[in-house]
Amino acid sequence: MRIICPNCGERDRREFYYVGDAVALERPAEDADLAAWDDYIHNRENPAGVTQDLWYHEMGCSAWLVVKRNTVTHEVLSAELAADVKGAGA
Amino acid sequence: MVDIIAKTPCEGLLPLTIGTTTVTEVPPSMMTSVAPYKGCEKALSTVLKSTHGIAAPAPGRATGKEGARAIWFGQRMILLMGPVPDAALAQHAALTDQSDAWAVVRLDGAGAAEVLARLTPIDLRDGAFKRGHTARTELQHMMASITRLGSNSYQIMVFRSMAETLVHDLKTAMQSVAARNG
């Protein structure tokens, strides 16, 4: 499996560390109800198909990436900087 | 009074020549990580140019030359090697002294790419990794920075604490390349 890092280009999977579902980027508002927080912290989809995860380019540029991939075909569909997705810019 | 003796990271380990390749330690110099503040990339590049005469490198590139080099060092980070950073840089970026933090070596000689290819997963072919290209990648299991300085010449950096492992891994790879070609 290879991931195309927006900074580094195509790199081997061993350079990356998996850090879970990209749902982590969608933090509920502070006053959101318990169900929203329960979903955010505990509940994850387990799709047979396209899924979005966060990956950390640990042995590379140290950027966090949002990677879209297919769990059935193992195809990596896209990778973006989490900073860009989140609009944080840092 | 304790006598403190300054030692370079690879003191007593290098130089090392096996077959056609040689590893030498790069003489220690000032090294500073330069991390631009949000939205300051352009201004930083201008100041880097006016103060040190080096353009800010794009991802995967190194600029400048021996004595004053800027190496792309990861997401939103540049490593300035050689000069003491001009105070004006601090207006646009966080500057952190890294001088004692990294072991810096050079791998030279015919077959240098063959040696590196045994240690790192990146594409080292001439078309993909040219002179002036740099990569943050892994070297065995160490976080490394690899920069191509010439056709048969690479600069390799790992954390200082891993200097001995770096030399050991390079030595093993150099021996196996030499044995193949012998």
Residue-range domains of chain B with CATH: 16-27+100-181 (3.30.1360.120), 30-97 (3.30.70)
Q: Is the minimum CB–CB distance between A21 and chain B shorter than 8 Å?
A: no
Q: How confident is the model at residue A88 (pLDDT cuts 50, 70, 90)?
A: low
Give the pLDDT confidence of B30-54 residue by residue, as tens digits: 999 999 999 999 999 999 999 999 9
Q: Which of B75, B123, B139, B145 to mutate to test the interface with A (most CBs of A within 10 A)?
A: B75
Give the pLDDT confidence of B50-78 residue by residue, as tens digits: 999 999 999 999 999 989 999 999 999 99
What ipTM was predicted for this assembly? 0.87
Provide the β-strand partners of residue B97. Answer: B32
Inter-chain residue contact B59 with A7, CB threshold 8 Å: yes
Residues in CB range of A42: below 8 A, 6 or more apart: none
Where are the strands (E) in A1-90, listed by range?
2-5, 9-12, 17-21, 50-56, 64-70, 76-81
Give the pLDDT confidence of B104-125 residue by residue, as tens digits: 999 999 999 999 999 999 999 9
Residue A12 with chain B: CB contacts under 8 Å: 121
Q: How confident is the model at residue B181 (pLDDT cuts 50, 70, 90)?
A: confident
Strand, coil or helix: B47: helix
| Residue ranges covered by each domain of chain A | 1-24+48-90
CATH of domain A1-24+48-90: 3.30.2270.10
